[in-house]
Every structure is written in C-alpha cells, then in structure tokens.
Structure 1
Amino acid sequence: MKKRFDIYKEHYKALISLGLPIVIGQIGVIVLGFADTLMIGHHSTAELGAASFVNNVFTLAIIFSTGFSYGLTPIVGAMYGTKLYTFAGQALRNSLVANTLVALLLTVCMGILYWNIENLGQPEELLPLIKPYYLVLLASLVFVMLFNGFKQFTDGITDTKTAMWILLNGNVMNIIGNYILIYGKFGFPELGLLGAGISTLFSRVAMVVVFVIIFLRSIRFRRYKVGFFRLGLSRTVFGRLNGLGWPVAFQMGMETASFSLSAIMIGWLGTIALASHQVMLAISQLTFMMYYGMGAAVAVRVSNFSGQHDTLNVRRSAFAGFHLMVALGVVLSSIVFLLRDYLGGWFTESPEVATTVTSLIFPFLVYQFGDGLQIAFANALRGISDVKLMMLIAFIAYFVISLPTGYFCGFIMDWGVQGVWMAFPFGLTSAGLMLFARFNYMTKNR
C-alpha cells in the first residue's frame, strides 16, 4: 500500500497544487449559488420556483459553452509542456474568436426558446417572473464565454490562481448586488428575482474586463502576448479548437440536459416540486464544483504529459485525480448526510419544500461515486484529445438511460420528484464506467 502511495504521491501534490485554486474559485461559485437561492427563497417561494426553471435552462447553455471552451486546455497544455509559448498566445486569440461565435449562436437558440416558454408546461403564475429574469441572463452569455476563454488559457499554462481571484471577487460583487437589488437597499428599488439577474449580468461583465486588463498589463503574460497580437488567426488552430470543443460541449451539454429536462418534468408537478429541485441543485453544486476543480487539474496535467508522449504519467495523473475525487466525495457526502434534516430550512420558509428536499438526499448521495468517476475520466480523455466517442457515451448514459428512467420512476411509477431524481445515479455511473473503459483502452500498454 505504501509503495502504491509513493507512486502517486507526486501526482497528488501536483494535482492539489493545480486544482486547489480552481476548487477555491468554484467554492465562490457555490457560495454565490447558495446566496442566490437563500435570498430569492426568502423573498418568495414563487420566485424560487421561477429561478429554478430559468437557472436550469441556462445551466444547460453555460455548461455547453464551457465544454466548448475546454477545447483550448489540451492545446495550450501541450504547448506549455513543450515550451511553445508564442503559439499558446495565438491559440488564446483563436479561442476568444471561436467562443464569441458560439456565444452568439447560443444566444439565438436561447432567444428562440424564450418565445416558446408558454409551451413548456410551467406554472402560469410563474411566467411573469420567468420572462424578465430570462432576458437578463441571456444578455450575459457572451461574457461567460469570453471569461471561459481566458480561464482555460491560464489553467492550461498552470496559472490557476488568476482565475480563482477574479471569480472570488466577482462572486462577492454579485452577492452584494443581489442583496441591494433583490430587497431594495440603499435607495435602490426592490426588484426581487429580476434584481438577482441584473447583479449577475454586471458581475460577469466586470470579470471579463478585469481578466483583459490583467492579461494586457501583467509581466507574466508577456511571452504569450507576442503570439496573441502578432500571429493572428490560424485555420489549423481554429480547426483544432472546433474539433476538440464541439464533442466536449455536446458531452457536457447532454449531461446537463438530463438535469435541465428533468427540471421541465418536475415543473409539471407544481411550484413546490420545482422549488425543492432548485434547492437540491444548489446543494449538489457543492460536490460537482469540487470535482470540477480537480477534474480541470487532471486535464492540465494529462495534457502536459501527453505533449511529452509520457503515457505512464498520463495514466498516473488520471488515476490520482480519481483517488482525490473519491476522498472529496466521502467527506462532502458525509457532511450533507449529517445536515440532511436542516438543509431545506436554510433555503426557504416553506415546510413542504424543506420536507421534499430531505427526501431527495438519498439519490444525491448514491450518485456521488458515478459523478466523480465520469468527471475524472472525461477530463483525462480531454487531456489526451480523445473526445469524439464521448458524445456517444453521453447520449447513451443521459438520453437512453437517465431521462427515460426519470420519467418512468417519476410518472409511470408515480414517485413524483423523488422518482425523477432516482434516475441521476443510473446516468452518471453508466457514463463514468464507459469513460473509464475508453481511457483505459486508449492508454494501457502504450
């Protein structure tokens, strides 16, 4: 056992060093999600239900766009591993252009969905709350993509602290803005849910502006700025970004769609069910974002070793990352389990919502292993640029297994929102097993 630990020890240390700033940045996102849900939930249960629907729809778009931006990490990571710094700067410029185009495409798609909200079966009393909040979040999509471009670049060159500090400060700004605009403090009007949306838009714009200023003025980015400004766009790099980005976007998008489409099904059960779903999503972000931070570190380490053609350390980095995620999962799941009877009451004054939240803790705990497994090996595959099969794996896991299971358990078996949530362990675990098998096949004995 000690010998095995010694083999992975340097990888654990490197992954923690890389991943911890990302995890801390994601904790800021988690705190923001908690604060949003707490403030909106205590303002009104109806607004909490409306926020659940809109946030789930936009989470799909944001995760999809984030997946596309992930195409930059293995490219920059391999260039950094082989000291091609000028070309890494060029890759950033290409990524920002590609991300902007994808953001505009998503804005059009989400705009079309906006005009069809009445046909999605949501409670009619929520529509006046849903529509303005939806439009404000729609305006922020392009800024999410621009931030992602800079973040994936800095992660790829192993500078994970810059994005962490920007995220933390941006989220503090967002929480303060929420407090002021939701409740109407310091002379501002009481805007409720719409105020939360305006605060989110403002913070996303500010984070992009700060990232641009740091990139342009910081000495540590000097060797990358040469390629960024002088080399211009490259058809080859642009093609690689699209070749890597779209499969990851669809893989992550289909995973998120299983949650977002489940939210639409849960909306058929009424406002209480939808509000409970939103609270559980805020809780589930706690573990997902932790795994996400470590997964991003896995992708960076694997891409660095892949650029050096060091397959042994590619494998060790991936497995070390999974070990760390299992440890995180055990600790975080234990905390959630111990607090299971109190969590719902933190977010809402509705006893019905609080009781329903408690009933959803069991399926949440069950899917933690599968979630860590699929994040670890999806990022490992991304690091070795083997991403095309991930789309098929995601389709099988989430559309063939998870969604039909959720509908069957929730509506055919009449288990309600608990039945819909029982599908998530099946989808995430099956995805994790298939991604692990693919990574093992691609790297074993090579």
Structure 2
Amino acid sequence: MNSTENLKQKTGQFLRILFPILITQIALSLIAFFDTNMSGRYGTDDLAGVAIGTSLWVPIQTGLSGILMGITPIVSHLLGSGRKNEVASKVMQGIWLSLLVSVLVIAAGSLLLSPVLNFMNLEPEVERIARRFLIAIGCGIIPLFGYTVLRSCIDALGQTRISMFITLIALPINVGLNVLLIFGKFGFPELGGAGAGVASAITYWIIAGVALLFVTRAETFAELGLFRKFHAPSLRAFREQLKIGTPIGFSIFFETAVFSAVTLLMSRFDTITIAAHQAAINFASTLYMIPLSICLSLTILVGFENGAGRQRDARQYSRLGISSAVAMSLVTALVLLLAGEHVAGLYSTDPKVIELIQHFLIYAIFFQISDAIATPTQGVLRGYKDVNPAFVICFVAYWVLGLPLGYILAVHTDLGAYGYWIGLIAGLAIGAALLLGRLVRVERRFSASGHGAE
C-alpha cells in the first residue's frame, strides 16, 4: 500500500483493495449458497437439517474467526509505522492462537452437540442430518482457523488479490465435492445434506495448504520472513491479539448469532417455514458480502493511515467506504424487489417454499440499508483499534432490543415467523445509528490528538 494525496488516488487504492476482497467474500458466500441450494435440491429435510447445522456452526465460526482477524489491524499498524520486522512473530503467534482455539472448539463440540440438538426437539430425520453435517465440518476447523490468520496477514499487506485467487480455487472444488458427496455421483457415497459438511471440511484443508505455500514461497512475502524462525507461544502476544480480536469476534458473533437464534426459535414452525427462512437468510447473507468487503477494506486502509498518523486521510477513506456501501445497498434492494421470485426459485422447486421465500426476501431489503451503514462503520472503528464500544452496541441492539422484540411479535401477535424478521430489522437499524455516532466521536478525538493509535 502507498500513501495518497487526493480523493482520486484514494478511490483507486480503495477499489484495488476492495475488489479482490469482494470477489473473495462473494466466493466464500457462494460456497454456503451452494451447500444450502444443493441440499435443498436433494430434499426438504436435508435443506432444513443443513439450515439447523449452519445456524449452530456459522456464529461460532465467524465469531472465533473475528478474534483471529485481530491480526489485521495489528499488521496494518506495523506497516504504517515502518515496523515490518515485527510482522513474522505476530503472525506466528496468531497461528498458535488459532490452534488453541480450534482444540477448544472441538472439545466443546464433542460435549455439547448432542444436548443442544436434543433440546431443540427437531424432527428425527432433520436432527440426524444436522448432526452428521456438524461432525463432518468439524474435521476442517484446524485448517480453517489457521487460514483465517494467514488471510488476515495477506490482506493487511494489501495483497488481497492472493486471497481472491485462493478462494476462487476453493469454490469449484467445494461445488464439485458437493456433487460427488451429496448426490453420490461417480461411485461416491450418497450422503445427502451431510455431504455438504464433508465437502466443506476437505475444502478448508486445501485452501489452508495453498495459503501456506503463498506466504512461504511467494516473492511478495520474502522480506517479512514468515515461518523462517520458530517463535514459541507467547501469552503476552496472545493478550495483545485478544485485546483487539475478542471485541471484534464478539461483535461479529452477536450479529450472526442473532440470525441463528431466530432460526433455532423458528424450529417450532413446520419444516417448510424453516427451509424458506433459511433460504432467504442465505441469499441476504450473500448480498451482505458487499458491505462486509467494504468493512474489511476500511480496516486495512484506515489502520494503515492511522498507524502513520495521517488522520485526514483516514477520515476520507471512511467517508468513501460508507457512502459506497449505502449506494450499493440501494442497488441490492432493487434486485430483491424486481427478482424475488427468480431468487426463490434457485432454492427450491416446491411452490409453497418458493412463496414463503419471496415474502421473507421483502423483509431482507431493510437489512441491506442498515448493514450498509453499520458494517463499514465497524471496519473504520477497527482501523482505529476502537473495538470495545462496538461490541457493547452490537450486544444491546441485537440481543437486548431486536431479538426480544421479534419474539414478542412472533409469539404474541398474528405476524408469526415474520415477527422475528421485524425484530431483526429494528435491532440492525438501532445498531447502525449508534455505531455511526461512535465513529463521529472517535474521529473527533483522533483529529484533536493529531496522531495515530498506540
């Protein structure tokens, strides 16, 4: 990355960072999309089982990945302040931390999976598919979390095209494995929805291996000397990363978990409603990759400028990113309005399921607008290493206000399942307003101080 002098140069650098991240995030979401879509094509029970499994897995995966992504602002600040020689040790400590987190998740999963699924009182076939899906995907936890650290380092260096390349390799591999393992093609076992979990686990191992080859062999990373020296685990380094990463991880967890909580609460509805809800959430999550990509880009760019003490440049990047996200949210809202029926038809051939998906997608329009403000704003705050208030805001907006409101509307009014979506919309809107207010205060503080974060 380079320092920039005017808006035109900033726009160019912003797009160079953003575009590969956007392609990467879309490809990652397409992996989940094809898991859900292909499971739905196999059967409604498989779609519901994968929906339940995904609802349990995604908050854990994204929340813990968020903790490990704390390496991004750390590396960005080191680069901005000219301390490249410290990057290798920070990345190695991130890998050690990812291994520790992986072991803890596997241990917790082995103890809690059965009690959680039994508590949900699912239909027997749906529970069986969800259990097998989660056990299968658990076999890929170690490489997935390791890859998260490597990708965060790659992106922090501005080499987002490499992450894009790796993910674009992963997408056809995952889809091909789904064909083989969900439908049992070419002599492979026919596993149904559980096959999507096996395919994902195998894909995680492949992308981790490719990323490791890049950071150890590519000339771009040569001067950093990654993995050339052994760095023993350091509790001090763990504390530094956890201080930044834990609030980031919890913020992500609270946002993703509230959607999963709604899916789990909706288990009292019939299988068709669960399947339609999950299909609509899946497509909304695909559109969410736009503001999320802008968020990740802003963390890198604002962190770099803040590390160098260029506060005016950091503010210009934040305004450029947030305004771009809002503009794109209006485009995605138009897509949902005009093409809702075609989108629903991608997930199912059952007319009842398609009709319900269409209804849920109308509510998803309002998600896009709130996310376009809240998500990039969090990216800017992470660039300033201001992460604790965002964590509190997300918890209050989503869990104290949004989810209880949704529950009341769903259980005590005639809105039924739609009540949960209204609650989510309210929580997201409140969160967006509070996060934007926090950003204004942070920018004023840094402008007054005239220097970057420590």
**Superposition TM-score, scaled by structure 1 size:** 0.95
Partner Cα distance (1:266, 1:7) in 2: 50
Closer, same or farther in 2 for the Cα pair 1:20/1:65, shift >3 Å? same
Q: Equivalent residue of 1:422, what SS?
A: helix
Indicate conservation of the 8 Å contact 1:170/1:206, yes or no.
Answer: yes
- 2:285, 2:335 → 1: CA distance? 14
Distance 1:320 1:186 in 2: 50
Deviates more, 1:111-120 or 1:294-303: 111-120
- Return closer, same or farther for 1:14/1:50 CA change in 2, 3 Å cut-off: same
Equivalences for residues 143-222 of structure 1 within 5 A:
143-222=143-222
Determine if the alignment matches structure 1 residue 139 to structure 2 residue 132.
no
The 3-state SS of whatever aligns with 2:187 is: coil
How much identity, in percent, do the aligned residues show? 23
The equivalent residue for 2:311 is 311
**Cα offset, 1:442, TM superposition:** 1.2
Contact 1:74 1:382 in 2 (8 A): yes
Structure-1 separation of matches of 2:230 and 2:130: 45
Question: Counterpart of 1:191 in structure 2: which amino acid?
Answer: L
**Displacement, 1:159?**
0.8
Q: Which residue of 1 aligns with 2:130?
A: 130
Q: Offset of 1:197 from its aligned partner?
A: 1.3
| 1:233 CA drift (Å) | 4.7
2:73 aligned residue: 74
> 1:68·1:99 contact (CA, 8 Å) conserved in 2?
no
Q: Which amino acid aligns with 1:375?
A: T
1:13-35 per-position Cα deviation (integer Å, ceiling 9, x unaligned): 22111011010111212322232
The residue identity in structure 2 corresponding to 1:359 is H
Instruction: Classify 1:414/1:390 alpha carbon distance in 2 versus 1 (closer, same or farther; 3 Å).
Output: same
2:362 alignment counterpart:
362
CA distance in 2, matches of 1:414, 1:103: 43
Equivalent residue number for residue 3 of structure 1: none
Equivalent residue, structure 1, for 2:330: 330
Given that residues 28 and 171 in structure 1 are in contact (C-alpha distance below 8 angstroms), is that contact kept between their aligned partners in structure 2? yes
Could you say which residue in structure 1 is the equivalent of 2:46?
Answer: 47
Do the aligned partners of 2:215 and 2:226 also contact (CA within 8 Å) in 1? Answer: no
Secondary structure at the aligned position of 1:229 is classed as: coil
* 1:267-282 equivalences in 2 (<5 Å): 267-282=267-282
Task: Write the deviation string for residues 334-388 of structure 1: whole angstroms up to 9, x where unpaired.
Answer: 1122111222222111111111111112221012121111111111111111111
Residue of structure 2 in register with 1:90 after alignment: 89
Give the letter aligned to residue 175 of structure 1.
Answer: V
Flag structure 2 segments of 5+ consecutive residues without an equivalent: 449-454
* Cα RMSD after superposing both structures: 1.7
Given the superposition, is the C-alpha separation of residues 429 and 8 from structure 1 closer, same or farther in structure 2, using an over 3 Å criterion? farther
Task: Name the CA distance, whole Å, in 2 between partners of 1:250 and 1:31.
Answer: 24
Q: Deviations over 1:238-286 (max 9, x none)?
A: 3210100111111111111110110101111121111012211221122
1 CA distance for matches of 2:316 and 2:54? 37
Structure 2 letter corresponding to 1:81:
G
Deviates more, 1:70-79 or 1:122-131: 122-131
Aligned residue number for residue 427 of structure 1: 427
Moved more, 334-343 or 377-386: 334-343
SS in 1 for 2:258: helix
Deviation at 1:227, TM superposition (A): 7.4
Letter aligned with residue 312 of structure 1 = R
CA–CA distance in structure 2, aligned partners of residues 109 and 371 of structure 1: 31
Q: CA deviation at 1:208?
A: 0.5
SS at match of 1:26: helix
Task: Tell me the SS of whatever aligns to 2:325.
Answer: helix
Q: Indicate conservation of the 8 Å contact 1:47/1:193, yes or no.
A: yes
- 1:385 pairs with 2:389: no
* Deviation for aligned residue 1:433: 1.4
Structure 1 contact 306–314 (Cα < 8 Å) conserved: yes
For the Cα contact (< 8 Å) 2:166–2:211, is it kept in 1?
Answer: yes
CA distance in 2, matches of 1:37, 1:371: 23
8 Å contact from structure 2 (residues 345, 354) kept in 1: yes
Unaligned residue ranges in structure 1 (runs of 5+):
1-5
**Residue deviations 1:309-348, cap 9 Å, x none?**
1221221111111011112212222112211122222211
Pair 314,128 (structure 1): closer, same or farther in 2 beyond 3 Å:
same
Tell me, in whole angstroms, the C-alpha distance in 2 between the residues paired with 1:124 and 1:190. Answer: 19
- Structure 2 match to 1:14: 13
Number of residue equivalences: 441
The answer (yes or no) to whether the contact 2:81–2:307 under 8 Å persists in 1 is: yes
1:239-258 equivalent positions in 2, closer than 5 A: 239-258=239-258
Return the offset for 1:108.
Answer: 2.6
CA contact (8 A) 2:92 2:231 kept: no
Structure 2 residue identity aligned to 1:380: V
TM-score, normalised with respect to structure 2: 0.93
User: Any conservation in 1 of the 2:53–2:130 contact (CA below 8 Å)?
Assistant: yes
Q: Contact between 1:266 and 1:417, CA under 8 Å: does it hold in 2?
A: yes
| Counterpart secondary structure, 2:82 | coil
Residues 269 and 416, structure 1, Cα contact 8 Å, conserved in 2: no
Per the alignment, residue 407 of structure 2 pairs with 407
CA shift, 1:44, in A, is 0.3
Per the TM alignment, residue 226 of structure 1 is displaced from its structure 2 partner at its CA by 5.7
Using a 3 Å threshold, how does the CA distance of structure 1 residues 214 and 53 change in structure 2: closer, same or farther?
same
How far apart are residue 142 of structure 1 and its match?
2.0
**Structure 1 letter corresponding to 2:155:** D
Could you tell me which amino acid in structure 2 is paired with residue 275 of structure 1? A
What letter corresponds to residue 273 of structure 1 in structure 2? Answer: T
Q: CA deviation at 1:58?
A: 0.6
Contact 2:373 2:436 in 1 (8 A): yes
Distance change in 2, residues 1:311/1:234 (3 Å)? farther
- Give 3-state SS (helix, strand or coil) of 2:330's partner: helix
* Further displaced range: 28-37 or 230-239: 230-239
Q: Which digits, 9 at most, give the CA deviation of each residue in 1:76-107, with x for residues without a partner? A: 00111123212111111111111221222222
Q: Report if aligned partners of 2:336, 2:362 keep a CA contact under 8 Å in 1.
A: no
2: CA distance, partners of 1:83 / 1:170: 34
Equivalent-residue separation in structure 2 for 1:233 and 1:314 (angstroms)? 33
Distance 2:276 2:326 in 1: 27
